């Protein structure tokens, strides 16, 4: 997560798909100019990785998921729009949000005219349960700093890609780590259980990368997750970069660089490793674009690849150690 603001830009390009649903790459290569070199050890505090091996039902802080016409169970808000129903822990005690994944911030979400290769991602976002993403769920007490991150998919010269940024090494938390654009909600962003995280994700992405939010189509949200070390309750907001705009570092004190990563590189087994923190925690990581993507960001990417059916078998015994600054 951010204190605030990151640069390369690639244009849109149509892509094909292979039989497994994994986006294909183009033969042409993309040359990128960066503002600084990435580092392979992230200088920052350990952020509590999303657990790539966790499975189970959506128990915990009373989250609700599905496209259901039925009401979610718990203290959350909103009805689903479809054929499912809300799922929560018991009666959704504490600050649980029973709104379905498709109806939170429904005024800002649309799946109209998405490219066909994004269909598996949109479909997975409607049904995935919190514990299928992470064992770190928001506290039932409602504690935590509400925030949103933008998981932005675009089409570059090598096909589908994700927008990431590298945090400045001088920041107090998660310094030097690659991450999604995003940050804490401001009061004007609105209700943290509905549209607030969507507004925050777009606002922060604009402040950090110079992205024009008018070219972004938000199409889904994932369940809220928790980063214990920084006390952030994070809503991953999924977007389609319908009209790409130039991006780059806005404030060097907060962002070292902004870059895109082809999805094909993220699914390439040669680029996948297991990051080992000195505390003993293990989590998925990616060696891409001269950077080690690990922690919360890598965990979310790992789970999206898995549930979208894009994941390819990779060697989990291939390890990269992190130092105590990470």
pLDDT at 216: 98
Q: Residue 156 sits in a domain of what CATH number?
A: 3.90.79.10
The helix or strand, by DSSP H or E, that contains position 125, with its residue range, turns out to be: helix 119-127
Determine the distance from the C-alpha atom of residue 146 to the mean position of all C-alpha atoms in its chain, rounded to a whole number: 15
Q: What pLDDT, on the 0 to 100 scale, is given for residue 107? A: 75
Quote the tokens at residue 276: 């080992």
Q: What are phi and psi of 289, to 5 degrees?
A: 50, 45
Q: Is the dihedral of CA 106, 51, 173, 213 positive or negative?
A: negative
Residue 268 DSSP SS3: coil
Is 16 inside any structural domain? no
DSSP strand E in 32-144: where? Answer: none
As given in the structure block, the two tokens for residue 208 are: 């950090």
Answer yes or no: is 32 within a domain.
Answer: no
Number of domains in the chain: 1
User: Has residue 186 been placed in a domain?
Assistant: yes
3-state secondary structure 4-39: CCCCCCCCCCCCCECCCCCECCCCCCCCCCCCCCCC
Q: Which two tokens stand for residue 253?
A: 């004190």
**Structural domain of residue 194, as residue ranges?**
106-265
CA dihedral 302, 308, 312, 316 (to 10 degrees): 30
**Whole-number Å distance between alpha carbons of 230 and 146:** 11
- pLDDT for 66: 36
CA neighbor of 205 nearest in space, from 163, 256, 265: 163
Asked if the structure places residue 224 within a domain, the reply is yes
| Alpha helix ranges (H) inside the chain | 119-127, 130-133, 196-209, 263-267, 295-307
For residue 204, is it within any domain?
Answer: yes
Give me the average pLDDT of each 10-residue run along the chain (326 residues). Answer: 37 33 39 29 35 36 35 37 36 36 62 97 97 94 95 97 88 76 96 95 97 98 94 97 96 92 98 94 95 95 98 97 76
- Domain assignment present for 246: yes
Q: What is the pLDDT of residue 168?
A: 81
Beta strands 272-276; 319-321: pairing state: parallel
Residue 78 lies in a domain: no
CA dihedral sign of residues 165, 288, 154, 11: positive
Q: Residue 190: its pLDDT value, please?
A: 95
Q: What distance in Å separates the CA atoms of residue 234 and residue 280, rounded to the nearest whole number? A: 24
């Amino acid at each position: 997560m951010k204190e605030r603001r990151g640069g390369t830009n690639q244009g849109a390009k149509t892509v094909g798909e292979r039989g497994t649903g994994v986006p294909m790459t183009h033969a042409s290569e993309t040359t990128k100019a960066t503002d600084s070199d990435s580092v392979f050890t992230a200088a920052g505090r350990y952020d509590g990785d999303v657990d790539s091996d966790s499975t189970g039902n959506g128990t915990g802080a009373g989250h609700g998921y599905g496209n259901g016409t039925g009401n979610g169970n718990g203290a959350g808000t909103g009805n689903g729009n479809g054929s499912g129903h809300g799922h929560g822990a018991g009666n959704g005690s504490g600050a649980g949000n029973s709104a379905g994944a498709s109806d939170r911030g429904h005024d800002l979400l649309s799946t109209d005219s998405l490219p066909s290769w994004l269909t598996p991602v949109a479909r997975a976002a409607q049904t995935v349960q919190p514990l299928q993403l992470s064992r770190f769920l928001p506290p039932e007490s409602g504690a935590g700093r509400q925030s949103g991150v933008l998981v932005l998919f675009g089409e570059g010269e090598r096909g589908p890609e994700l927008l990431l940024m590298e945090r400045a090494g001088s920041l107090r938390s998660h310094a030097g780590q690659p991450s999604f654009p995003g940050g804490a909600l401001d009061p004007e962003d609105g209700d943290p259980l509905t549209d607030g995280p969507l507004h925050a994700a777009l606002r922060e992405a604009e402040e950090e990368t110079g992205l024009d939010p008018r070219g972004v189509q938000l199409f889904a949200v994932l369940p809220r997750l928790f980063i214990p070390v920084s006390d952030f309750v994070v809503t991953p907001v999924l977007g389609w970069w319908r009209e790409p705009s130039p991006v780059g570092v806005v404030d060097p004190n907060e962002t070292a660089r902004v870059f895109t990563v082809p999805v094909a590189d993220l699914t390439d087994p040669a680029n996948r490793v297991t990051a080992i923190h000195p505390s003993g925690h293990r989590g998925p990581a990616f060696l891409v674009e001269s950077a080690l993507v690990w922690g919360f960001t890598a965990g979310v990417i790992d789970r999206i690849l898995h549930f979208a059916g894009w994941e390819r078998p990779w060697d989990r015994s291939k390890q990269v150690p992190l130092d105590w600054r990470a």
